[in-house]
Chains A and B, each alone.
Chain A
Amino acid sequence: MTFSKAAAYSRLAAATLALVWTAFTLEASPAKAETTLTVVDGIDVKDWDPAVAYGHESYVLNNIYDPLTRYNTKEGKLEPALATSWSVSDDGLAWTFKLRPNVKFHSGAPVTAGAIKTMLDRNIKMNQGAQYLWGGAAVTAPDDATLIVKTKDPLPIDLVSSASYAAMVYSPAAAEKGNEWFQKGNADGTGPYKLTQWVPNQQIVLEKNADYWGGWKGGEADRIIVRIVSEVSTQLQMLRSGEADMTFATIPFDMVGTLQQDPNIKIDVVDSWQYLPAPINTQLPPTNNLKFRQALTHIMDYETVSKQIYAGLASVPEGPTPMAMPGAKKYDMPKFDLAMAKQLLQDSGVPQDQWKITWVAYGGVDVLKNIALLFQANAAKVGVKVEIMQGEWGVMWDKQKHLETSFNVFPFRNWPDYATVNPVALFESDQQSSFNLSHYVVPAVDKLIGDGTKLEAVDKAACAQAWQKAYQQVLDDAAAMFIADTKRIIAHRANLEGVTTDPAYETVLFRYLHRSGG
């Protein structure tokens, strides 16, 4: 056989051309099955283990797992999920749940009180994620249908059982296999969808659980594909082309208007429990001065933040927690008033050459940077110099927790772990090493918060009264300014119906989704 280099090159070139030709001549993507819906998301699941999950993965996990109870924000009450009824002892220390009969895990094992005890014992022992909510409870299962949860202090275990993070029920078999098994992309819940495939950083596939205890009406998706697409513009291209039915992307606010003009796309703007508090450091000069702090709350232009920076996709806070949250009350909130701010600054006694503060805008988040710049510009009008401090969330938070490295104002996005307006995390003095970023230490407020927390399980009215007083004191002390209550934006194809959300859960419930006419 003779060897010819020219012939070899020719063959190689022909093979390359054939490859390119093959690619160009096939369809861009095979036709989707009628009942397959594609959702695009920017972040892959990090923790598949429900005992650990405490972040973005709740978008997916809340469609695979059920809690004992489910919070209905619209109705303002708890609804049965895996538990059909529940009661609490007079002292608020023992909760009894009656379980829904004949419910099975995806693996086919029955859901019993013993199974849930196994899961809760594991969660509480691991004490990761949001498991602190259970307060180290002791769990017993006197029979298959009865679960008893006892705590040392009164806790609203009915509400904790509805939480987005710490309350997902999984099977004893899964608990036995442990974290390593979960982390390989396995799940065994009771929810409407089963996890059937996880290709890291590419896609998650959920199949309909035909035996779902909640039943099916018909027309729902048999298969949900969650495609991991990191770039927002790519997500939106997929949505526009119809390759994706819905996106969980955080859409830049200035693009919302453009998308709304596309007849094939619908933008849902829904209530959220997310809001933007800005703790003001009560121990760091010059914001350790009450009048100086009060002045700052009048320098913030709340209307412009909501209307311009959030492009109307946020509202001016009417209280220290969003009105969408259960138990939220309206308060007399500070208004944008530079004249009043100037007066308060002069009354503060802080020498004018010390009217300098540091303001954090972490993580390169555009909205936070723009708010900082707006505040900086308005503050300059009354003679306050604002230095904007930028850095990664973890770094800035770590610095803020320690007084010696902390800043004067630290806006951050916040939301509750379950349906509560409890101010404990942000304003109790014990939380200085965590999220009391104002370094706010007022014993009277601590007592009000503690009293309310003990009453939350047994006397909601008295609890609310205590917390209202605590919040009022926080506002009087100007320990934080509350900048905006934000909305959630969900972009989907116009023919996708049943996009059902509840601010209690950072997800879209896939079981209600269907294409119009489907």
Chain B
Amino acid sequence: MTPYVIQRLVLMVGTLIGVLTVTFVLTHILPGSPVEVMLGHRPTPDQVAAVKHELGLDLPLWRQYLRFLGEIGHGHFGKSFLTSQPVLQDIGQRLMATVELTTLAMVCIILIGIPIGILSAVKANSPIDHVVRSLSVAGVALPGFMLGMLLQMAFYGWLGWLPLQGRMTSTVLLDHHFQAVTGLFLVDSLLAGDMVAFRDVAAHIVLPLATLTLANLPLAARTTRNLMVEVLTEDYILTAFAYGLPRRRVYFRYALKATLIPLLTVIGLTYGYLLGGAVVAEYVFDWPGIGSYVVRAITESDYPAAIGVTIFLAAAYLIINLTVDLLYFLVDPRLRRA
């Protein structure tokens, strides 16, 4: 297994260099420069020229690329043009907000989506199955931003139960200091024993979490259903039923186990997608994560920020994929022996 892991890590480095190159080229071949945006209202030509020189934007593209690789090699991602803060610092501040939201969403998707999928498969072609499949299609079809806004209207506008946006209420954020140990506010507020802050954080995460979960749950449910339907027709399952084994045991111990590898793939891909794809939920709910950060970076030609987040997301995606691949070894003994 070790050679396999080493091989994958080498491939990861190659992929990352590829991502770096493509991102650099895409951001630099666009016409114009971001300097005009970053210098404010009415910069003078001298100021524009000075900043272009400082950023190396007056150099030929290939020299900019070499300079860029050198900077990245030293861990310098530069400063964001839009926030004037170091990109790594920006990503660091926003990363855990995204991780908290997407990880919880992933947990919800697994805990809700997989049982629903199993239920739908077990009751295949029954009214329950039809309802689940219809809702899945509806869930996939409903745009995330619309779902988010509907939830806002319902739970903030009409019922007044939940906060509209942000990660914490202003006054709680101001008056309840708790140490950022993990950057996950739910965990940190609990560690600090600050229940007011914890409840406030919990209330704020409910709607973006529901939006992300509901938008991505149908895929998990449908995948589980389809895999299970297939497995349930296998001879060894039919044999198990014929032997009179308890149905619950057959479903969870024998059938579900056979679906784990493709299911792990779906879960891994979904998690990777959520990290970068939480953009809509983050934007609608002003969740201060990297999704909303990268959208603004891309639309306003903030090269360093766009490149920094892209590299980070690419790395995260690759690591998640590697982790999933390694989990295959764990769940399938045949692979360990191969």
| Chain A interfacial positions (CB closer than 8 Å to B) | 12-13, 16, 19-20, 22-24, 26, 28-30, 32-33, 36, 38, 44, 46-47, 52-55, 127-130, 132, 165, 183, 197, 199-203, 205, 225, 227-231, 233-234, 237-238, 241, 243, 391-399, 415, 417, 425, 433-435
Contacts and interface: CB of A to CB of B under 8 A. Distances in A.
Given A20-B206, A30-B172, A434-B44, A237 B288 contact: no
Nearest to B81: A46
B32 A228 contact: no
* Interface pairs A-B: 6 shortest CB-CB: A54-B40, A395-B32, A394-B36, A398-B32, A55-B40, A394-B37
A176 to B, nearest CB: 20
B257 to A, nearest CB: 13
B34 interface: yes
Given A54-B39, A165-B41, A230-B286, A23 B170 contact: no
A241 B160 CA distance: 9
Interface stretch (B9-17, B63-71, B161-169, B319-327): B161-169
24 contacts: A26-B203, A30-B171, A44-B83, A46-B84, A127-B46, A132-B47, A165-B40, A201-B93, A202-B166, A227-B166, A227-B170, A231-B284, A237-B156, A237-B164, A241-B160, A391-B31, A392-B32, A392-B37, A392-B300, A393-B36, A394-B301, A395-B30, A395-B32, A434-B42
Interface in B119-168: 149, 152, 156-157, 160-168
Contacts of B90: 200
Interface in B186-245: 196, 198-200, 202-203, 205-206
A225 B168 CA distance: 13
A229 B42 contact: no
Interface residues of B, number: 62
Contact of A225 (B30, B164, B170): B170
Contact of A234 (B33, B160, B286, B292): B286
Nearest to B205: A23
B152 A237 contact: yes
B43 interface: yes
Given A28-B160, A127-B47, A183-B84, A394 B41 contact: no
Nearest to B162: A28
A393 B37 contact: yes
B286 A228 contact: yes
B92 to A, nearest CB: 11
B161 to A, nearest CB: 6
B8 interface: no
B111 A28 contact: no
B6 interface: no
B203 A23 contact: yes
Contacts of A53: 40
B315 interface: no
B33 to A, nearest CB: 6
Contact of A434 (B45, B108, B156): B45
B156 A399 contact: no
B173 interface: yes
B40 A394 contact: no
B162 A203 contact: no
B335 interface: no
A494 B103 CA distance: 42
B164 A203 contact: no
A2 to B, nearest CB: 17
Nearest to A18: B202
A28 B284 contact: no
Contacts of A46: 82-84
Contacts of B45: 433-434
Interface string B38-82: 011111111100000000000000000000000000000000001
B226 to A, nearest CB: 23
Contacts of A234: 152, 164-165, 284, 286
B111 A13 contact: yes
A159 to B, nearest CB: 16
Given A201-B94, A394-B36, A417-B41, A183 B170 contact: no
A28 B47 contact: no
A200 B283 contact: no
B185 to A, nearest CB: 11
A32 B171 contact: yes
A241 B196 CA distance: 22
A53 B41 CA distance: 10
Given A200-B83, A202-B288, A227-B170, A26 B300 contact: no
Interface centre among B41, B84, B168, B301 (most CB of A within 10 A): B41
A24 B161 contact: yes
A199 B170 CA distance: 10
Nearest to A413: B41
B85 interface: yes
B202 A22 contact: yes
B338 interface: no
Given A13-B111, A23-B203, A392-B32, A417 B292 contact: no
A29 B163 CA distance: 7
Interface centre among B167, B171, B196 (most CB of A within 10 A): B171
